[in-house]
Amino acid sequence: MLVSRKRRFGGAGESAAREFKRLRRKHIREDWLFWLVALTSLVGTAFYSFYVGRTASRILAATSGFSLGVLLVMYMLGGHISAFRWWQGVIGERDTAKEIEKLSADWHCEHDLQYDHGNYDHVLVGRPGIFLLDSKLLHGTSAAGSDGLRAGRLVYGGAAFRGGARRVNSALAGRLGFGAPWVQPVVVVWGDFPQERHEEQNVVYVRGEQLVGWLTGLPERINAPQRAACVTALREVREVLQGSTN
């Protein structure tokens, strides 16, 4: 029997998953008439297939099966493209979390730190310092440059990533006697990212599969006692942030 290994750091993608489920419920409520008609037609077609000839019965059964599959896919995608994008966020964050689990025991991560206007995907503490990781699962080819990340019509500006890092740094500063180390913003890109790694204006864009290799290749900047203090401060910050959002 296969036994899954227990994760050291849990909670990745929880905020995005909750938002996805909320939007799915919202879209189904708004489009309740469509879902009612579709389900009623599906049940009626399946029921009617018992009272027709063999060939017609097979056609109706196949139609019912196909229709059920379409409805299930629509439900799994959240009923609308806006909800599906949140599910992409869940997958991206969980893929990054799997990579983080590969790091050695002297690394610590807090996933999904909520604050007033959203959440931080991952805050990571290790020998090289503190990193704010933002996971992006993108379709099509993505490219970093001109202070941002682009994939088709989607554009993520570097200023937002730097702003998040400054907020985390500020939250930690008041709790550390030796001063908070600089929080490095990192965008973890899942999908087709030919550049593999790009650094610009204090933001690092790195392909997901190369995250661990890049992190472990960085020089040590904070010692063990400092890392322990940073982890304690980070946990305190998490409690304060969660308390302010409840």
Question: What confidence score (pLDDT) does residue 244 get?
Answer: 47
For residue 48, give every residue at least 6 positions away whose Cβ sits within 8 Å of its Cβ, in sequence order, or none.
60
- DSSP letter, residue 68: H
Residue 192's DSSP bridge partners are 141
For residue 129, give every residue at least 6 positions away whose Cβ sits within 8 Å of its Cβ, in sequence order, or none.
181, 182, 183, 184, 218, 221, 222
Report whether 231 contacts 108 (CB < 8 A).
Answer: yes
Nearest by Cα to 56 from 67, 45, 65, 69: 45
Q: What's the whole-model pTM score? A: 0.76
Question: What confidence score (pLDDT) does residue 4 get?
Answer: 41
Nearest by Cα to 112 from 233, 190, 9: 9
Residue 110's DSSP bridge partners are 123
* 200: phi then psi, degrees, rounded to nearest 5: -155, 130
Question: What confidence score (pLDDT) does residue 219 get?
Answer: 95
DSSP per-residue codes, 186-198:
EEEEEEE-TT-EE
Amino acid letter, residue 235: R
Question: What confidence score (pLDDT) does residue 2 get?
Answer: 37
Report whether 193 contacts 142 (CB < 8 A).
Answer: yes
For the chain, list residues with pLDDT below 50.
1-4, 243-246
Nearest by Cα to 84 from 23, 174, 159: 23
Query: Measured in whole angstroms, how far is the alpha carbon of residue 220 from the centre of its chain?
Result: 28
